[in-house]
């Protein structure tokens, strides 16, 4: 899958940074709380933080005005069922990710520059929650219906199954205060991989596919415009998580063995099964132009991409059945002087010397 390019009149060119293990011998998952940014041990994470700042956006920039008309007059009952299920999943999805970040990730990734990125990610998760709240308020004006959407993890089986999958992996390390042993570090890595590859990288990417499918039919351009921003955020979150995994793999190669590979593959299989059940629900009334079979193929394709990002062999060999997903970085048709498009980046001035002494 082609991830959205970061475009600007002055393209961002990340500084060349070293991936070498810190000279001090400290490792990324060593227990403790390193607080010093000098000398910087993992500059790649600081560069990711800087790039995230350049992707700043606000919910107020998203224009939902045409979406309401689409929902009322251009969409079938099956289309509206799809949207109702989709916004019900959105209602709590990013809150779950934010909780895992705060409760399970931040305290164990022991590099201040990495925690800077996680702090930025937490802001972005809050922004996504605000975006989906605004989406719900716009699409579901009736308070009773909106309350049912927020209760979806308890009342809609296909969404509850995805939530249970998330909570299982959150709970797997919820009581870990320090990563003292090999087994504790493996558990942490599996949680990190799950949230990056399965939840942000599969559940959300499946949701994006539904949004861009509707956009390909000329529907819900406001939702698609906001999703462009979220898509870029989630792609960056995955990149950071996989960089953490790569760093730990370099520092502690013994953690990654055939058993770890099997556990990751099984985890992805479970995630695909959860999302396939959701596809059967969301497409249950028969959406013209989109089938459960195609969604299964797409999910298997995405799962393979996540395995590749983890330097693991593909499992399914599936191809992307959705041509419209190859166009997800095509910018919305908007007059630049009337509305800022999602390719815009906020400039960050100044240079940073990564190896400067105190």
pLDDT at 345 (0 to 100): 52
Mean pLDDT for 89-104 is 93
Distance between CA atoms of residues 288 and 153, nearest Å: 27
pLDDT at 26 (0 to 100): 82
H helices within 252-325, ranges in order?
Answer: 258-282, 292-309
The pLDDT of residue 358 is above 90: no
pLDDT tens for 167-212 read 999 999 999 999 999 999 999 999 999 999 999 999 999 999 999 9
pLDDT at 24 (0 to 100): 56
pLDDT at 113 (0 to 100): 97
The pLDDT of residue 33 is above 50: yes
Superfamily of domain 43-50+62-327 in CATH is Ribonucleotide Reductase, subunit A (1.10.620.20)
Exposed, middle or buried: residue 324 (CB in 10 Å: 0-12, 13-18, 19+)? middle
- What is the pLDDT confidence band of residue 87, given thresholds at 50, 70 and 90? very high
- What is the pLDDT confidence band of residue 142, given thresholds at 50, 70 and 90? confident
Active site residue 106: no
Q: What is the DSSP string of 57-83?
A: --GGG---HHHHHIIIII--HHHHHHH
**Long-range contacts: 63-71, Cβ < 8 Å, 24+?**
63/222, 63/225, 63/339, 64/134, 64/135, 64/138, 64/222, 64/223, 65/222, 66/221, 66/222, 67/138, 67/139, 67/220, 67/221, 67/222, 67/223, 68/138, 68/139, 70/219, 70/220, 71/139, 71/220
Residue 291 burial (CB count, 10 A): 14
pLDDT at 5 (0 to 100): 41
pTM for this one? 0.85
pLDDT tens for 267-307 read 999 999 999 999 999 999 999 999 999 999 999 999 999 99
Per the model's pLDDT, the better-predicted residue between 334 and 347 turns out to be 347
Residue 313 burial (CB count, 10 A): 10
Mean pLDDT for 321-343 is 53
pLDDT tens for 299-329 read 999 999 999 999 999 999 999 999 988 755 4
The pLDDT of residue 337 is above 70: no
pLDDT at 351 (0 to 100): 43
pLDDT at 13 (0 to 100): 35
User: 3-state DSSP call for residue 167?
Assistant: helix
Distance between CA atoms of residues 119 and 129, nearest Å: 16
Mean pLDDT for 257-261 is 93
According to DSSP, residue 35 is labeled: -
The pLDDT of residue 52 is above 50: yes
* Of 42, 49, 132, 139, catalytic: 132
Mean pLDDT for 61-73 is 94
């Amino acid at each position: 899958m082609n991830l959205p390019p970061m475009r600007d009149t002055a393209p961002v060119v990340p500084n060349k940074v070293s991936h070498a293990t810190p000279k001090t011998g400290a490792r990324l998952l060593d227990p403790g709380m390193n607080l010093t940014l000098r000398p910087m041990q993992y500059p790649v994470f600081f560069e990711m933080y800087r790039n995230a700042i350049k992707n700043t956006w606000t919910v107020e920039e998203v224009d939902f005005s045409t979406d309401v008309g689409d929902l009322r007059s251009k969409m079938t009952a099956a289309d509206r069922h799809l949207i109702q299920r989709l916004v019900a999943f959105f209602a709590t999805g990013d809150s779950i990710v934010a909780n895992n970040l705060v409760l399970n990730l931040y305290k164990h990734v022991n590099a201040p520059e990495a925690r800077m990125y996680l702090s930025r990610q937490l802001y972005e998760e809050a922004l996504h929650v605000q975006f989906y709240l605004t989406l719900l308020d716009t699409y579901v004006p009736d308070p009773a219906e909106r309350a049912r959407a927020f209760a979806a993890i308890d009342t809609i089986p296909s969404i509850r199954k995805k939530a249970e999958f998330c909570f299982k992996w959150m709970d797997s390390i919820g009581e870990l205060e320090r990563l003292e042993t090999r087994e504790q570090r493996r558990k942490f890595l599996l949680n990190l991989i799950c949230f990056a590859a399965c939840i942000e990288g599969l559940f959300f990417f499946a949701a994006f596919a539904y949004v861009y499918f509707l956009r390909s039919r000329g529907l819900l351009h406001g939702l698609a415009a906001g999703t462009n921003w979220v898509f870029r955020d989630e792609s960056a979150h995955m990149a950071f998580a996989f960089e953490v995994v790569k760093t730990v793999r370099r520092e502690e190669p013994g953690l990654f063995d055939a058993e770890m590979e099997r556990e990751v593959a099984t985890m992805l299989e479970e995630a695909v099964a959860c999302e396939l059940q959701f596809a059967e629900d969301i497409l249950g009334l028969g959406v013209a132009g989109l089938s459960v079979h195609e969604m299964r193929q797409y999910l298997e394709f995405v799962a393979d991409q996540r395995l590749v990002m983890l330097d693991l062999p593909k499992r399914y060999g599936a191809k992307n059945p959705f041509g419209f997903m190859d166009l997800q970085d095509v910018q919305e048709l908007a007059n630049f002087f009337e509305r800022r498009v999602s390719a815009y980046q906020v400039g960050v001035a100044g240079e940073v010397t990564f190896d400067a002494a105190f």
